Amino acid sequence: MNQDTRLNHLRGSPRCGAKTRAGGQCQCPAVRGRTRCRIHGGLSPGAPRGAGNGNFKDGYWTTEATEERKWVRRALERYAKGTDQ
Ligand SMILES: [Zn+2]
């Protein structure tokens, strides 16, 4: 792969959307498969899962609950577009 191709891939890569103190977005290249750059948490897998690690009050933000809400939203979008049938 020559240098121009590599530079074009770098330019076309998704950008980090982290908010900067100046008010804009970071715009560094995001880590592969993620939406943030290496500085803004792109490399971090996040906090450990489960009830032993977290400050749960009502379960609204558990993985299961957020996945369920995503599923409902997708189903609603499909229904609204009329592609459900
Ligand atoms: Zn960033």
In a domain, 58, yes or no: no
CA of 47 to the centre of ligand 1 (A): 19
* Distance of CA 30 from the midpoint of ligand 1 (Å): 7
> Can you tell me the distance from the alpha carbon of 31 to that of 8, in angstroms, rounded to the nearest whole number?
16
Q: What is the pLDDT of residue 65?
A: 92
* Per-residue pLDDT tens digits for 10-40: 788 899 999 999 999 998 999 888 889 999 9
Predicted confidence (pLDDT) per residue in 38-85, tens digit: 999 888 887 787 778 877 788 888 888 999 999 999 999 999 988 765
Q: What is the rounded CA–CA span in Å between residue 11 and residue 27?
A: 11
How many angstroms is it from 2 CA to the middle of ligand 1?
A: 27
Asked whether residue 82 is domain-assigned, the answer is no
* 25 alpha carbon – ligand 1 mean position (Å): 8
- Indicate the number of domains in the chain: 1
- Residue 85 has what pLDDT? 56
Token code pair at residue 55: 């400050």
Distance, CA 26 to ligand 1 centroid (Å)?
5
pLDDT score, position 4: 87
| Domain span at 37 | 13-43
Residue 25: partners with Cβ closer than 8 Å, 6 or more residues away: 15, 16, 17, 18, 19
For residues 31 and 45, the answer to whether their CB atoms sit within 8 Å is no
> Which tokens sit at 38?
């290496």
